[in-house]
Structure 1
Amino acid sequence: MTQPQHLRHDYRHFQPITTRWHDNDLYGHVNNVVYYGFFDSAVNTYLIERGGLDIHDGQVVGFVVSSACDYFASIAFPERIEVGLRVGKLGNSSVQYELAIFKAGEDEACAAGRFVHVFVDRRSNRPVPIPEPLREALAALLVG
């Protein structure tokens, strides 16, 4: 079975990340669970910087309700990587991110993943409409 290609030009935003010594596992490559941390860091950096998300005192927070990742090639410390980010679906209170891990300067992804945020009221934990500044930032990443 052939894997679909995930190419750099298919993504709307890139977040550079430097791998760390402790990201490597016993086999000498970045452990699979670390990729989820890369995804989370890329998305939240974007939401904070471009959408005005206030992670400490804002009334709205994003909860991850679904996630997955497929791996195509390994990466290892001390490689510099870039997380490609795009939005596949934008709903009233939820968003599906599509992400890919690229070695700096390479066109083909080493891994591709997706996750869904549901935005909720911080106090009640009940879904709420995505605030307009966040919606605008997310809409700029929407594909298809």
Structure 2
Amino acid sequence: MSAPSHFECHLTPRYTDLDTWRHVNNSRIYQLHQEARILAQIDLLGKDAWFSDTVRLRPLRSITQYRQVSWYASDLTARLTYLGCDQHSYRVRNELYQNGELVGTQDCLIGGYENGHRVELPQATHELIQQLSGENPESLPEARYLSLLDRVEGFPVHQQLTPRYADLDADSQRSEAALARYIEQARFGGIRQLDLQGLGILIASADISFAHFQPGWPPVDLASGISHIGNTSFVFTACVRAKGEVQAAANSVMVVIDQQSGRPAPIPAQLRESLQAWHIGGV
């Protein structure tokens, strides 16, 4: 089998992608990774591959690494690699570069859905991606945080969020981007309650597992808690529950930083105490 094939494109951050720190918001970075994946899908499978009325390609899991902040008024280059493929799923890795520097990566495992249920990849899709993929990619780390979801009722932070029409995608399903935003909101619902004592917080990585993409209008429950506390970082474990069932769940590594230097800073005793009060156990 030949070396894995690459797809490359250029993406432009928008003013509306900026957050209060005046760099590109992490959920918007996630969407840029998604945009690169969709453009690669069109390049490989044809101009109508961005929608489907039969089998729909959706992520089963994504692991996004935020290596550096990204800025407005400077394009990003996306470089996507096909890593592996079987009858049930395929895997890609996307890298984002800005001004020649690697600012982030995303590993994504993608599967097929039809009528809300997992199905095998279409044969033609499987054969095409298999031809482009490398051999035996390194396995994704086990999503051990999923074992914490049986105690979600006891998670210390809960908030309700009302779904919007804008949360639907072109196939009238709850969009991947919306679920990533919900996970972000689940984190922020906890962070905004913390006294950071003049320090800042940045996200280092987000590991999201997707259960399904069924739409719905009843409020969703965003539940979160702390599953690990380190010296300069901590881990939010969060989930999105729709109609009482988990639709997506994630581990997000958050780094405490000195706002002047931009460097990681030790977690102060008072903040550590607050985080420990939200501890839900580890895996």
TM-score under structure 2 normalisation?
0.43
| Larger radius of gyration between Structure 1 and Structure 2 | 2
Report the count of equivalent residues.
135
Distance 1:135 1:100 in 2: 22
Q: Does 1:9 align with 2:153?
A: yes
How far is 1:140 from its partner?
Answer: 1.6
Determine the structure 2 residue equivalent to 1:111: 248
Q: Which of 188, 191, 204 is equivalent to 1:44?
A: 188
Distance 1:80 1:34 in 2: 14
CA 1:131–1:45 in 2, change beyond 3 Å: closer, same or farther? Answer: farther
**SS at 1:83's partner residue?**
strand
Q: Which of 190, 205, 215 is equivalent to 1:76?
A: 215
Determine the structure 1 residue equivalent to 2:202: 63
**SS at 1:109's partner residue?**
strand
* Contact 2:233 2:267 survives alignment (8 Å): yes
Determine the structure 2 residue equivalent to 1:130: 267
- Please list every run of 5 or more consecutive structure 1 residues that lacks an aligned counterpart in the other structure: none
Counterpart of 1:65, as a letter, is A
**SS at 1:110's partner residue?**
strand
**SS at 2:253's partner residue?**
strand
Distance 2:213 2:226 in 1: 25
Q: Which of 21, 33, 42 is equivalent to 2:165?
A: 21
**SS at 1:35's partner residue?**
helix
How far is 1:77 from its partner?
Answer: 4.9
CA 1:116–1:35 in 2, change beyond 3 Å: closer, same or farther? Answer: same
Q: Does 1:100 align with 2:243?
A: no
Distance 2:259 2:200 in 1: 6
Counterpart of 2:195, as a letter, is G
**SS at 2:215's partner residue?**
coil
* Contact 1:20 1:77 survives alignment (8 Å): no
Distance 2:262 2:218 in 1: 38
**SS at 1:73's partner residue?**
coil
* Contact 2:204 2:254 survives alignment (8 Å): yes
CA 1:89–1:26 in 2, change beyond 3 Å: closer, same or farther? Answer: same
Counterpart of 1:27, as a letter, is D
* Contact 2:157 2:189 survives alignment (8 Å): no
How far is 1:24 from its partner?
Answer: 0.8
* Contact 1:24 1:77 survives alignment (8 Å): no
TM-score under structure 1 normalisation?
0.80
**SS at 1:69's partner residue?**
strand
CA 1:79–1:124 in 2, change beyond 3 Å: closer, same or farther? Answer: same
How far is 1:75 from its partner?
Answer: 4.1
Identity level (%): 21
Counterpart of 2:280, as a letter, is V
Counterpart of 2:255, as a letter, is V
